[in-house]
Amino acid sequence: MKAITVMLAACLFGVLGRAVPASAASFSLSENGAKAQGMAGAFVGQADDPSAVWYNPAGLLRTNRGGVLSLGGNLFIPDITADDVNDVRTNTADDSHAEGESGATPVTGNQYVSWRVSDRVALGLGANTPFGLSVDWDDDAFVRYQSAFAELRTLFITPAIAVQLSNRIAAGLGVSYVYADAELERKIFFGPGLEDGTFQMAGQAREWAYDAGIQAVLVEDAGALGRLTLGATYHSAVSLGFESDDSVIRFTVPAAFASSFPNSAVSANIDLPEIWTVGLSAEIGERTTVNLDVSRVMWETLHQVVFVAENPVTQALVSPIVRDYGNTWVARLGGERRLNDAWAMRLGYAYDETPIPDETLDPLLPDADRHLVTAGVGYTYGRYSVDAAYSAFFFEDISTSTHQDGFNVDYESFSHVVSLAFNCRF
C-alpha cells in the first residue's frame, strides 16, 4: 500500500512533465521505460518489468514475485532549424535561418508498480506519457507566423491485470484515464514596422482508452535457444475532445485592431492513433536476450484539427489545421546481455516512418523519418535496481516542395534523450 501511495503521488511529475516529439513519429513517444529504451523500445515479447503496464500488460506475470515500484523519467536535449531557401517568409525583414527547440520543458515521467498476486494473476498501475509534442521556435524566427509555439501534453493513468491462461499463454488488459492539455501560439503579421499580434489557443481534454496484450511461449529449452516468446499488443485510438468549458482562443493585438479580434471559448478534437505491435523475444543461453518488434500505427484518422469558436467573429478568423496523416510502420531491434547477477548491458536500433505528407509538413511539427540508436545499462543490488539509457535520434533532412500553402522550407533536427528509472522490490 505504501508503494502504491508513493506511485500515485509521483503521478504529479507525469502531469507537470512536458512531452517532446523526439522519439516516435509525429507526436507519439516511445520512451516509456528506461530498460526498454536501452533496447530501442523492442520490448513487447520480453516485457518483464513494471513498464509492461504500457508495453504489454501480459508481461506483468514475468515481473518479480511480490511487488516492484519503478519511478523513471526522460531528459530530452533537442535541436531544430529551418531555412527559407525558397523565399517564402511572411516578413521579408526576417532572417532566413530560424532555430528552435523540440521541447520547451524537455522532461517526461513514467511511474509504474506491479504486484504478482499469484502464479496466475498479476496487477499493475502506470502513469506515463505515450503522446506529446512541444515545438518552441525562437521569438524572431521567420516561421513564427505559421507556428511560434505548440504543445500537447498527455498523461495516461492505467490500471492493468494479467492472467495466465495456460502453461504457455498469458493475456493482459489495461484501461487508461487520459488527461491532456494543449497550447498553440502563432504570430499575426500586420505589416512592415508594425508590432506583431498573437493568436493563442489553450485547452484541456479528458478521455478513456484501453490496451490489451498476449505473450505466448513458442519454444522452450531447445538447446542454445532457452525460450522464444511471441508478444502482441493493441492500443486503442483516442479522440481528445477539447470542450469549450475548458478551452479558449485569445488574441493579443495592437489597440487599433482589438475590436476585430475578440477572444472566444472554443472546442476542438485531436485524434490519437490505434497501435498494433507484434514482437519476438529470444533468450539465447542463460544471459542473452534478443528482441524484434514491428508496429503498425494507424495515423490516417488524423485528417485535420477543426476549431469551433462560440463567437462567430472569432470563428471567421481561424482555419482548420490540415494534417492528412498516413499510416506508418515502425521496426525495432534490441538486445540485452546480463554480464552477471548485478550488471546488464543493452543496445538497440529502430527505424520510424513519419506519417506527415510533404503537403502538410510545417513548423507546427516538422517531422521526418528517423533512425534511433540506443545504449543502456542496468544495475541490481539486493532489492534495488537502476536502469539507464541514452538515445540518439537521427532525423532525415527535409526539404518540402509541395506544401499546400506554398510554405516550402528546409528543416534539420537531432535529439539526445537520457532515460533513467529507479526500481524497488517490496
Which pLDDT band, with edges at 50, 70 and 90, does 261 fall under?
very high
Which pLDDT band, with edges at 50, 70 and 90, does 24 fall under?
low
What's residue 221's pLDDT? 85
User: For 40-59, how does the pLDDT look when each residue is reduced to its tens digit (9 = 90+)?
Assistant: 999 999 999 999 999 999 99
pLDDT over 90 (residue 273)? yes
224 or 303, greater pLDDT: 303
User: For 111-130, how does the pLDDT look when each residue is reduced to its tens digit (9 = 90+)?
Assistant: 999 999 999 999 999 999 99
What is the rounded distance in angstroms from the CA atom of residue 69 to the CA atom of residue 384? 10
How many other C-beta atoms can be found within 10 angstroms of the C-beta atom of residue 224? 9
In CATH, what number is assigned to the domain containing residue 254? 2.40.160.60
- Mean pLDDT of the chain, nearest integer: 91
> Among 74-88, 238-252, 263-277, 287-301, where is mean pLDDT lowest?
74-88
Torsion angle defined by CA atoms of residues 353, 303, 151 and 88, in that order, rounded to the nearest 10 degrees: 80
pLDDT over 80 (residue 105)? no
What's residue 8's pLDDT? 38
**Quick one: average pLDDT of 199-221?**
96
Query: Do 158 and 125 touch, CB atoms closer than 8 A?
Result: yes
What's residue 27's pLDDT? 79
**Quick one: average pLDDT of 347-356?**
96
5 or 113, greater pLDDT: 113
pLDDT over 80 (residue 10)? no
DSSP reduced 3-state for 128: strand
Place of cell 518479480: 64
Q: How far is CA 117 from the centre of its chain?
A: 30
368 or 421, greater pLDDT: 421
What's residue 193's pLDDT? 85
Contacts of residue 135, Cβ cutoff 8 Å, sequence gap at least 6: 21, 80, 100, 101, 102, 147, 149, 150, 151, 363, 364, 365, 366
**Quick one: average pLDDT of 416-424?**
96
**Quick one: average pLDDT of 330-338?**
98
All 3 cell numbers of residue 347? 543496445
Structurally, the chain folds into a number of domains equal to 1
Which pLDDT band, with edges at 50, 70 and 90, does 22 fall under?
very low
Residue 246 domain boundaries:
2-425
DSSP 205-263: EEEEEEEEEEEEEEEEEETTEEEEEEEEEEE--EEEEE-TTT-EEEEE--GGGGGGS--
What's residue 14's pLDDT? 36
All 3 cell numbers of residue 71? 519511478
What's residue 1's pLDDT? 42
Place of cell 470542450: 243
What's residue 21's pLDDT? 42
> Among 69-78, 170-179, 291-300, where is mean pLDDT lowest?
69-78
What is the rounded distance in angstroms from the CA atom of residue 248 to the CA atom of residue 240? 15
Closest CA to 77 of 375, 419, 406: 419
Which pLDDT band, with edges at 50, 70 and 90, does 25 fall under?
low
What's residue 106's pLDDT? 66
All 3 cell numbers of residue 338? 546480463
What's residue 287's pLDDT? 94
**Quick one: average pLDDT of 246-266?**
94
106 or 141, greater pLDDT: 141
Closest CA to 353 of 298, 416, 282, 426: 298
**Quick one: average pLDDT of 244-257?**
93
